[in-house]
Amino acid sequence: MNTEIVEKTESVSGIVIKKIRDEISKVIVGQEKVVDRLLLGMICNQHILLEGVPGLAKTLLVTTLAKVVQADSGRIQFTPDLLPADLTGTLIYNPAESSFYSRKGPVFTNILLADEINRAPAKVQSALLEAMQERQVTIGDESYPLEELFMVLATQNPVEQEGTYPLPEAQVDRFMMKLIVDYPKKHEELQIIRSQSKKSARPEAKPVCTARDILKLRDLAEEVYIDAKIEEYIIDIIQASRKTNEYIQFGASPRASIFLCQAARGLALMQGRNYVTPQDIREIVPDVLRHRIVISYEAEAEGITSDDLIQKILDSVPAV
């Protein structure tokens, strides 16, 4: 192994990533796994889908993350009457010059919170799809590139389904991970109400790194070594998800294989290693496959979730 890469990996993961975690923890109580996965998505240059009931500080988490890494952030509340131009921007007519000029929308930022993304119709979701996949936005006849550091954090409310538009599989597949944001534990919630009881007692996060540091982390993640046997292990897991049965309608696409490889590299980097282990794969598989395995009506009727099926797949596929 290249000792220079090892030293760089340990230095960056031990200093920059630790600083980010520590600073976010001053504001966000608990949710350590969610915070780590958001960092992982940022390092891998991908987007994340968050699912959780309202009031779990998802918006606060996004704004805090942006502040810590000194990045711009934006929030769009998705509603049924939202138009694509409200997201991407539009052409404005200038009567003085008898010409049009482009006014960019809120998607032109670093970290975009798409709140309750499933409340907007398909034409709005498709406008966001171009930004997510192509990293550009088309206004009129011109295409504008987005920032090099750009990620979409979209939220969904798992309880309320009235007035919602289920995301098409093509768009769901663009999200690297789907995270479940759960309720805080008792001692965590006690800490939350105490920190929010007085304005003077509310903690604030401070910037600890820059967007350039995140880009350096991306370069280091690409240098993390992954053995051919572990690559085969990834493919075996993905192909096992495609064995349709009474509980699985559709399995994961090849994009899942790519994302799983990227996420494993990023996870190894965050743990101070320059090589991927089978445990890295097993740890990240549920988050990468949770939204890609389409369960059948029989599975829903029996209360079997995609997470249950993923665990069965992991138990059935031998590790290297």
pLDDT, greater one: 266 or 197:
266
Residue 13 banded pLDDT, cuts 50, 70, 90: low
Cβ atoms within 10 A of the Cβ of 251, count? Answer: 19
Report pTM.
Answer: 0.84
pLDDT of residue 198: 67
Residue 1 banded pLDDT, cuts 50, 70, 90: very low
Q: Which amino acid is at 280?
A: D
List, in order of start, the domains of the chain with CATH numbers: 3-223 (3.40.50.300), 225-320 (1.10.8.80)
Render pLDDT for 65-94 as a digit per residue (tens, 0 to 9): 888 888 888 888 888 888 888 888 887 877
CA distances from 319 to 42, 202, 234 (A): 28, 46, 10
Residue 281 banded pLDDT, cuts 50, 70, 90: very high
Render pLDDT for 95-133 as a digit per residue (tens, 0 to 9): 877 777 778 888 888 888 888 888 888 788 778 888 888
- Rounded CA-CA distance 20/268 in Å is 17
